[in-house]
Amino acid sequence: MKRYYLLLLPLLAFVFTAYNKIDEDKKPSTEKPNVIVILADDLGYNDVSFNGSQEIPTPNIDKIANEGAKFTNGYVTYSVCGPSRAGLITGRYQDRFGSGRNPLWAPNDISQGLSIDEETMATVLGREGYKSMAVGKWHLGAHEALRPLNRGFDEFYGFLTGGHNYFPELLTLTDISQVKSQFAAYKTKLLKNDKRVEETEYITDGLTRETVRFIKDNADDPFFIYLAYNAPHSPLQATKKYLDRFSHMEEGKRKTYCAMVSALDDGVGRVLDALEEKGIADNTIVVFLSDNGGHEGKWGADNGILKGEKGSIYEGGFRVPFAMRWPNKIQANTVYEKPVSSLDIMATAVEYAGASPKNKLDGVDIVPYITGKKKGLPHESLRWRMFDSKTYAVRKGDMKYIHKTNKKNGKVMTYYYNLAKDISETSNLKVSKSEKEDLQEEYNAWEKQMIDPTYLGLGQDKKYTSEHPDRFNTEVY
Q: Which residues are catalytic?
A: 81, 139
Q: How far apart are CA 201 and CA 189, in angstroms?
A: 12
Instruction: Name which of 78, 79, 76, 82 is nearest 102 in CA terms.
Output: 82
> Is 76:290 a contact under the CB 8 Å cutoff?
yes
Q: How far apart are CA 279 and CA 295, in angstroms?
A: 38
Instruction: Name which of 383, 452, 455, 458 is nearest 95 in CA terms.
Output: 452
Rounded (5°) CA angle 196-291-124: 70
Residue 97 CB contacts under 8 Å (≥ 6 apart), including other chains: 86, 90, 114, 115, 117, 118, 451, 454
Please give the DSSP secondary-structure letter assigned to residue 319.
Answer: B
Q: How far apart are CA 392 and CA 418, in angstroms?
A: 17
State the distance between the two ends of the chain, measured CA to CA, in whole angstroms. 78
> Is 477:178 a contact under the CB 8 Å cutoff?
no
Question: E strands of 67-130, at which residues?
Answer: 69-71, 74-75
Q: How far apart are CA 202 and CA 191, in angstroms?
A: 15
Q: How far apart are CA 222 and CA 267, in angstroms?
A: 22
> Is 128:32 a contact under the CB 8 Å cutoff?
yes
**3-class SS shares of the chain: helix, strand, coil, % to 5:** 35, 15, 45
Residue 407 CB contacts under 8 Å (≥ 6 apart), including other chains: 389
Q: How far apart are CA 294 and CA 285, in angstroms?
A: 25
Strands 322-325 and 284-290: antiparallel
Strands 399-405 and 381-386: unpaired
Strands 284-290 and 155-159: unpaired
> Is 147:160 a contact under the CB 8 Å cutoff?
yes
Q: Which residues pair with 289 in a beta bridge?
A: 39, 322
Q: How far apart are CA 443 and CA 436, in angstroms?
A: 11
Residue type (1 letter), 65: A
Q: How far apart are CA 36 and CA 288, in angstroms?
A: 9
Cβ neighbours around 27 below 10 Å, total: 15
